[in-house]
Every structure is written in C-alpha cells, then in structure tokens.
Structure 1
Amino acid sequence: MGSGTATRSPARRAAAPTLGVLTLAIMNVTAVVSLRGLPAEAEYGLTSIFYYTFAAVFFLIPVALVAAELATGWPEKGGVFRWVGEAFGPRWGFLAIFLVWVESTIWFPTVLTYGAVSLAFVGPDQTWDKALSSNKFYTILIVLALYWAATLVTMRGLKASATISKWGGLIGTIIPAGLLIVLGATYLAQGRPIQIQLGWDKVIPDFTQFGNLVLAASIFLFYAGMEMNAIHVKEARNPNRTYPLAILMASVVTVLVFVLGTLAISIIIPKTQINLTQSLLVSYRDFFKALGAPWLSSVVAVALFLGVLGSVTVWVSGPSAALGAVGRAGYLPPFFQRHNKHGAPSHILLVQGMLVTFLALMFVILPSVQAAYQILSQLTSTLYLIMYILMFAAAIYLRYSEPHTPRAYRVPGGAAGMWVIGGAGLIGALIAFVLSFIPPSQIKVGSPMTYVLILVAGNVLFVALPLFVYSRRKAAWRTAAGSRDFAPFNWEKPGGLGHPGAPSLDEEAEHEAPATRDHPLPGRRTPDGFGPDAGRHPYGDH
C-alpha cells in the first residue's frame, strides 16, 4: 500500500534523470506486492484471474498513470494533499492526507495479525500452530508488541526505520513470493492432486452470486501504493516513454505474482478449508511436506514475520510524517505538531498507538479473529478508496482548471485520454467502495446488520473528523517551519483568482484573530481563511 506523500530533496530534484525502465518497474513492484491477502482470493480459484485482471485495468494502471501526471505537475511537498488541494481547495486536500494516515492506522491490526500467524507457524506442530494463531489473546499480545516495537524504531528517526523496511521487504515479501510460485509449479509438474477445477469456463465469475463479489472487491486495494513512486517520474530518462513502459512491465509482473501466488494456494488447500489468516502459512507447510522438507516452512514463517515488521515500520513513519508536515502548515493543533530530537512526529505517533491499541481489542469483542480481520480490512479499503476517488477527480478537474501547468508526464490521449483512464479508475474505485459494505458470505461476521453499521459508522467518523478539525483551525496553529516547508497552490500565487473551494467571508472572519477583526490588514482574501495573514500565502511569505 502507498500514501502518495513522499517528496524529493532539492538536491535530488536538480539531479540529471537516471532511472530507466527496469529500475522504475522494480520500484513499483516492490511498493505494491504483498502476500497477505492471497488467501482471501484463493477461494475463487481460477475466477481470481478475472478479478485480478479487472482490477488491474480499472485501478492499478489508472492509479499509476494519473499519479505520475499529478506528481510531475505539482511536485511540491504534500503529495495527495497538494494534488487534491490544488483542485478542490485545502479542506479536501486535508481530508485526503488524513485518510491516508487513518487508513494505515486501521490497517496495522490486520497486517500484524498476519505477522502473529507467521510467528505462530514457526513451530513444528501444525495442529498446535493453528490453534495458537486462532487464539485471540495471543493475537492481541503479538499485534501490540510488534506495533509498539515498530513505533519505538520510528521514534529513532528515518534512518533506523528505512533500514528495517528495506531488508524486511526483500526477505519477507519478494523472496517468499517467488518461492510460492516455484513451489506451486513444482507441485503441478509432479502430477499431484489439486483442489480446484480447471477449465476456461471457471475463469468467468458467476455474477448471479452478488455476495461473492465482496471479497473480490478487496483486490482493488491489493494494488494500492503504485502512486507512491509517481514522484520519481521526473528522474526518469524520457519520462513520456520510459514511465508508461515501466508501468506496463510492473503491472504485468504484479498481476502475475498475485494470480500465480493465489492459484498456488488454491491447488493445495480445499476451498472449504481456506482461512484468511492461516492459509498462506499452511500452503508453504503443505508444499514443503510434499517435497519432503517440512522444516523449511518454519524458515519461511520467520521470513514473512520479518516482512511484516519491515512493512509496518515504514508505514508507521511515512503517513505520520506527512500528516505532521501538513499539520505544521496550520492544519493541526500545536499538540500534534510536536517532534522529538530525531525529527519524528512523537505526539502523532503516540495518538496513533493508542488508536491501534483500541482497535486491536476488537479481536476479543467480535466473534472470531477472522471476522475482526475482515471488518478492519474492509474499513481500511473504504477509507483508502475515498482518497483515491478524490485523487482521480482532482486529476480530471486539473486538466481543465490548470491546462497550462507544465507536466513532465501526461496521461496520453489529451483530455479524452484523461477521461478514459482517470474515469476508469474513478468508476472502479466507486464500485469497490459500494461492494465493500456487503457482508461476505464466506466469513461469519456475526450480525450482518452489525457488520454494515460498523463500516458505515467508521467511514462517517473518519471523514467527519478531519473536516471538523479543518473548520476549527486557527492562525496560531501555523508554525514558521510549516510556512517555510510549503509552497503556495498555483491559484494562491500573485495574480491568482482564488479558488471555488475557498470559505465565505463569514467563515473567514470566524478564523481571524480578534485584533485582525478590529484592524484588518490589506490584501486579498486567502482560501484558508487565516485572517492575520490576509494578503500573504497561508504557508508563509513567497
């Protein structure tokens, strides 16, 4: 998964383009590929091929191409905050960046559950391993221990978290992914019995079973994160040619990894026995057992565990740092702007930790670990999809509101091309969002009504919260560092006409300091409504 919040240093921005097709492709594959969700799609057998391909066409490729245009047209710090804010104003930009942070926060218990299961399967007794991994109290203990360990590493600064995430990604994702595919191919070549039915007619899904589409909708979020590397487009040689080729290559490799990895699980575990949290580890165990080396499954379990630790470490630091940077520009109260001596957003990390701890307790309250895992996964998906909907809409809008803004890369086909590609992503994200609210028939989630209410309440809460914070912002929240860090939106620069998303004069007056109301300063109204700085850019003088 990715946040779209990374930025480049000035020195790097000035460097000559050096990235080729292969390098960019590998970067994108690494950012997107994760094995955690394969069991959820393994239930569909050959039908998963259709879902993976559909999601790639309507989500993966549009995300990559649209994010590339946005990143090269508006490369300043802020990422998705910058892109959405440029189109619709800072209110919606703040919502977008907040959703990236909160969805990653909700995501932690689900991915750490996968880590807890991996750790449980290190032992030699599979029956005991399965029982341990299903134990709610064991799950909570490992989830919280892993999360707070990653938080402590993040508190030490970027260098510490980057080292762990780099090696964790290689050892815990890339190598196990290739190994799973090789094991599945070897198993088939030996002519061993398989657990799925073969045939081209099995590829097309049964659209009459509407409830079965719910888990399939989560495939869209398998591909989340491709926007993370879009900022590197300007470092590519001949980006209009290099980047599309790299995206095509990365998309093909990513789809193949997901399809072949999912089918590897499907051929060795019966559909009725697939478990969302355990089946990946069981697949490795069964494959190695068939090859006469069951002990190797413990090695893979350790590797997957390290992969989770690496992934969580980078996601603890990235979105929190991005939200902190935006907050210092005047969008969060001073309490949430605090950084420690290592430059880590300490107070945001602590608040995030308390929220993760609370969410982890859902594993005790809900009927089973698997049910809690599914609900949290779906809530993560819906919140992230809202951000993507804003991103696609912003890209289409900016083609008309700022047609002359230089872009090193443009979605091909002119305005029509943007409507086709950006529109495909927008429609795909909307479809996945709607389907995410339908209780899955494959998993016992307790009362379907409770399941839906939890999802609806979660979405309403986490969308309303940043909008409320934005409405209560004050001029005193802006710091000198925030003013220096952020460049103005194009529509705020001298000669700009303002933005349709700007607050009304009444709204603006509510955010002005009392002295400013009595003695207004000359200058144009700013869209952020920070009265004391009327006539200046809200992030500082430029």
Structure 2
Amino acid sequence: MAETPTHASAPVPAPAPEGPGLDGGWSEQRGRLRKDLRRTDLLFFLICTVVGLDTIGSVAAQGPQGLSWMVILALVFFLPYGLLVSELGSAFPVQGGPYVWTRLAFGRFVAGLNQVLYWISNPVWVGGTLCVIALATWEQFFTPLPGLWRYVAGLAFIWAGVLAVLLAVRLGKWVPIAGAVARIVLLGFFLVSVAVYAARHGVHGLTAHDFTPTYAGFVGLVPVLIFNYVGFELPSAAAEEMRDPRRDIPLSILRSGLASFVLYGGPVLGILFVLPARQIGSLGGFIDACKAVFTVYGGNVAADGTVTLTGAGSVLGAIAALGLIVGLLTSGVSWAMGGDRGQAVACADGAGPAWLGVIDEKRGTPVRVNVLSGVLASLLMVAALNLTHGNSEKYFAAGLGLAISTTFVSYVVTFPALVVLRRKFPDAPRPYRVPGGTAGAWAVTVLTTGLVAFTVADLIWPGLGVGWFGTAGNPADSLPTSFAGERLQYTLSQVVPLLAFLLVGCAFYASGRRGRR
C-alpha cells in the first residue's frame, strides 16, 4: 500500500523548485501546495491513469491483430514516450508539468492554448466515454435507467469524481490508489474466470494468421491503443507536491509501464477467447465478456448469445460491475488531478483568468478549476444524450474520438519540447536523459510526435490511407459502426468542438492580460 507521510498540525508548504520557473501570480499560489506524494503513491497513480478500462472492448473488437499492434506500438510509441517524459519530468520538476515544458520551449501563448486543449479533454472524456460505459454497466448488471434517471445517474457519476478531486492531496491520492487496486483485482479475477471458463467450455480457436497485422487494422486501432498508452506526464503536473520528483518520476514511469502492459493485454486476449468475433462491440465488449465468463459460477449462455447470471454468478457479476464503475470513475479523477493542476498554473501564470489560478489555502488544490471541469462534463453529457437521442454507441464513439483527438493535438506541441529544451537549457540538471544523445532525443521526439499527429488525422477522417498504394480495405469500414454511412456527421462531431476549444483557449489567454502585466 501507499506510504502515508506523518503530518504536523500545519502541513509544510512546498518550496520553490530549482531551475527555470514561472512568474505572474504563481509565486503567491505556490506556497499553498503540500508535499504529500511519495514514490509508491505515484506508482499506483500511474497504473490508475494508464490502464484504461474504457478502451478494452474497442481493441478486442478489432480481433487478434489488436494484440499484435499493441506489441508493435509498445515498442515504437509507449517506450519512446516513457523515455521522453522521464527526462522532461525529472529535468523540470515544476508544478504544471506539460504547461511549463511548452511555456519554456515555445512561450506563454502557445503553452496557454495547448494547456486548454489538454485540460478540456478530461471533461469531454468523463462526460462522454466514461459516463456512458458506467451507465451501460449499471443497466447490464442492475436495473434500466429510463428517461430522467439516466441523467441523474450520469450527473451523480460526474460529481462524485469532482468531489474526489477537491480533496486535499493527502486524502485525494487514495482515490487513484483505490482505482489501481480495483483494476488489479477486477482484471486479475476476470483472467482467473477466463481460465475456469476455458477449462469447462473450451475457447474460440485463434490461428497465427488471425494475428497478422494489417494497415486497415492499424488505422482502426492506433487511436485507442495510443490513448491507452498515455498519461505518464500527469504526475509532473503535481511535481511540487512530491517528496523527490527528480528520482521518483522516472522510476514510477518504468514500473507502471510494465504493469500496465500486462494488465491491459491479458483481458483483451481473454475477451477474444470467450466471445465470438461478431459479438464483440466497442462499448460492451468487456462487459459482455465478464457476464459470459461469470456463468461458471452460476448462469448460462443461450444459443442466441444471451447471458443469464444466477446465484453466485449474479453476486460476483454485481461486484465486478461495481469494480468496473469504480475503475472508470477513478480514471477520470486521476486525469483531472493532473489536468486541473496544469490549468490552474497556466491561469496563475497569466495564460488564463487569474481567478481560476487560485489554490485553495485549506486543501492545497485548484478548487475553482475542479468545479468548472465538473460543470463542463455535466453540460457535455446532457448535450450528447440529447444530440444522439440516447444512442449509447453513437454517444460513446463521438465522445471517445473527441477526447483522444483533443488530447493528442496538445501532445503534438508538448513532445517536441524535449529537443527544444535541450538546446535552450543545456545546463539544467538532468538526473535522467534519453539514451543516445542528441540522436536519441530526436528519435523519440519524431516517433511520438509523428504517431500522435497521424492519430489526430485518422480520427478526423477515419480510414485515412486505406485503399491507397495497393492497401486492402474500404475507408468507409473504418467509421465507427454507429456512424456507418455518416462520415460528414462524424467528422463534424470532431472538428467543430476542436475549433471551439481553440477559441476558448484564445479567450482564456486574452482574459489573463491583467495577470501578465
């Protein structure tokens, strides 16, 4: 379990860090931070952040080649990304993390716009993807949510997360820790149940040919796989709340990366063994697989694939469903803890409204940004449910695509900061450096930036490159199933909000004029 520091009656404020820092109004807010994060806390925080339960079904829906691309992208993206963030996080351990890196590299205006995109992607994700999966899980295992009750349940999910983020760090850090434990227990129990199910009923045979990677599969998988591989930079947003960020950040990234790869790949393989390919959906793949394997404890699967749980199977299914909902909730909490802190630093630094940059004196957290995030997530949930007329699959596809594209546009700016800061601050202490000198730094920068840029283009225009240069497949098949034949509608669901978010970023920067003066 996490190490819990001993607290005096008044926590000790975090001192200003060494090296390049911020100006504006952040100096005043910095003294309200508390150094309550230790290495074990960071490990659990990153497991909670990186192991996303919402995309397991999306990967499994692409078939066995999903695992092949998962291994390939682990080598060409996950590893370089971890190396890149380890150097930036340990060399510039300043509160705000990615905002500070991009501000030092490209200036306050670019960093301010970039931070708004990074921050706002979390309300989109929580109000869209996470909320709809939580609602679908509740309806699968407990009771339907007709009419108004769907909105009530969605708002309860969102604001439970907001309240968790509002807590002081010494208390709030236990929420991601609980989320990491829930993931380990839930996914571990699922894999054990798959083994029992396989021993009793057999599994669907998978041939070596099924694992052959294709370009069409790559285009369909790259957004969700890379999205599930990101999040290493989040602890750096709370760098001045750590005991020893220069040492703890690289070690935590290494350990959590290895754990996350195992925790994510195992369930995908389990789903492929249990469910016929035609029954695996992006939204309900993991939920349906859980119900199927839990029949070994009580229940049956009808000829048409309908699953009925009884006795111990029903009880264990309900417990697993609650664990999944907790896992989804804590995913949103861990990302909000990082994204909201970065936005508060940006606002206090003059890249946004000064009133949003205030750190609460009692809690040491950016309460105002936290509440605004909850309001935005609530509005997006209500709007999405109305625009999609309650179509959960369409709601899920649009919300997930927008959350990924918004986050990845910000990465296109953040990742090149590595090579820029090596040139601008060559003498800054770097406890960890990307191996290979300048060539190594450029290699990880080009790989990570190129892949996230391609992902953004692929999300805006699904099927990009399919059918080109002799590749097999039809670009229309890359559209989410719920948007079949509606390419323009899907593209607008991504482009229009992205443009709106950029306008919000410009408005934020304009409103920070007084703070800059």
TM-score normalized with structure 2 length: 0.78
Task: Report the Cα offset of residue 190 of structure 1.
Answer: 4.1
- CA distance in 2: counterparts of 1:192 and 1:137, whole angstroms: 42
- CA distance in 2: counterparts of 1:338 and 1:249, whole angstroms: 33
- CA distance in 2: counterparts of 1:12 and 1:179, whole angstroms: 43
Aligned to 2:78: 60
Aligned to 2:381: 360
Change in CA separation of 1:136 and 1:111 when aligned onto 2, cut-off 3 Å: farther
Aligned to 1:538: none
1:144 aligns to 2:155 (yes or no): yes
1:113 aligns to 2:119 (yes or no): no
Return the index of the structure with the highest Cα Rg: 1
1:445 to 470, 473, 483: 483
Contact residue 72 and residue 409 of structure 1 kept, 8 A: yes
Deviations 1:462-496 (A, max 9, x none): 12321343245323x36xxxxxxxxxxxxxxxxxx
- CA distance in 2: counterparts of 1:259 and 1:152, whole angstroms: 32
Task: Report the Cα offset of residue 399 of structure 1.
Answer: 2.3
Task: Report the Cα offset of residue 253 of structure 1.
Answer: 3.3
- CA distance in 2: counterparts of 1:253 and 1:165, whole angstroms: 15
Contact residue 125 and residue 332 of structure 2 kept, 8 A: no
Give, as a single letter, the amino acid of the residue that structure 1 aligns with 2:151: I
1:459 to 492, 498, 514: 498
Which residues in structure 2 correspond to 1:5-16 (within 5 Å)? 9-10=14-15
Change in CA separation of 1:9 and 1:182 when aligned onto 2, cut-off 3 Å: farther
- CA distance in 2: counterparts of 1:266 and 1:300, whole angstroms: 19
Contact residue 141 and residue 321 of structure 2 kept, 8 A: yes
1:278 aligns to 2:299 (yes or no): no
Deviations 1:391-447 (A, max 9, x none): 211112222233232211100000001111221111111121211123444512262
Aligned to 2:437: 414
Aligned to 1:486: none
Change in CA separation of 1:326 and 1:443 when aligned onto 2, cut-off 3 Å: same
Change in CA separation of 1:339 and 1:404 when aligned onto 2, cut-off 3 Å: closer
- CA distance in 2: counterparts of 1:157 and 1:248, whole angstroms: 27
Which residues in structure 2 correspond to 1:346-385 (within 5 Å)? 346-361=367-382, 362-366=384-388, 368-385=391-408
Change in CA separation of 1:421 and 1:331 when aligned onto 2, cut-off 3 Å: closer
- CA distance in 1: counterparts of 2:326 and 2:275, whole angstroms: 25
- CA distance in 2: counterparts of 1:352 and 1:331, whole angstroms: 17
Which residues in structure 2 correspond to 1:205-284 (within 5 Å)? 205-207=213-215, 209=216, 213-229=219-235, 243=250, 250-284=256-290
2:322 to 270, 285, 302: 302
1:46 to 64, 67, 84: 64
Task: Report the Cα offset of residue 220 of structure 1.
Answer: 0.4
Aligned to 2:207: 199
Name the SS for the 1:141 alignment partner: helix
- CA distance in 1: counterparts of 2:360 and 2:434, whole angstroms: 41
1:88 aligns to 2:106 (yes or no): yes
1:327 aligns to 2:347 (yes or no): yes
Name the SS for the 1:70 alignment partner: helix
Change in CA separation of 1:101 and 1:243 when aligned onto 2, cut-off 3 Å: closer
Give, as a single letter, the amino acid of the residue that structure 2 aligns with 1:323: Q
TM-score normalized with structure 1 length: 0.74
Give, as a single letter, the amino acid of the residue that structure 2 aligns with 1:289: T
CA RMSD in angstroms comes to 3.2
- CA distance in 2: counterparts of 1:101 and 1:150, whole angstroms: 15
Count residues in correspondence. 449
Change in CA separation of 1:452 and 1:441 when aligned onto 2, cut-off 3 Å: closer
Deviations 1:199-224 (A, max 9, x none): 222112332x47x7234422101011
Task: Report the Cα offset of residue 26 of structure 1.
Answer: 6.1
Contact residue 38 and residue 258 of structure 1 kept, 8 A: yes
Change in CA separation of 1:138 and 1:200 when aligned onto 2, cut-off 3 Å: farther
Task: Report the Cα offset of residue 65 of structure 1.
Answer: 1.0
Task: Report the Cα offset of residue 371 of structure 1.
Answer: 0.8
Change in CA separation of 1:340 and 1:400 when aligned onto 2, cut-off 3 Å: closer
- CA distance in 2: counterparts of 1:407 and 1:29, whole angstroms: 25
Task: Report the Cα offset of residue 251 of structure 1.
Answer: 3.4
Aligned to 1:163: 174
- CA distance in 2: counterparts of 1:243 and 1:53, whole angstroms: 22
Name the SS for the 1:35 alignment partner: coil
Unaligned runs of 5+ in 1: 1-7, 124-128, 479-529, 531-542
- CA distance in 2: counterparts of 1:405 and 1:57, whole angstroms: 29
Aligned to 1:104: 122
Task: Report the Cα offset of residue 256 of structure 1.
Answer: 2.6
Give, as a single letter, the amino acid of the residue that structure 2 aligns with 1:467: C
- CA distance in 2: counterparts of 1:338 and 1:24, whole angstroms: 24
Task: Report the Cα offset of residue 27 of structure 1.
Answer: 5.9
Contact residue 55 and residue 428 of structure 1 kept, 8 A: no
Aligned to 2:294: 288
Contact residue 116 and residue 142 of structure 1 kept, 8 A: yes
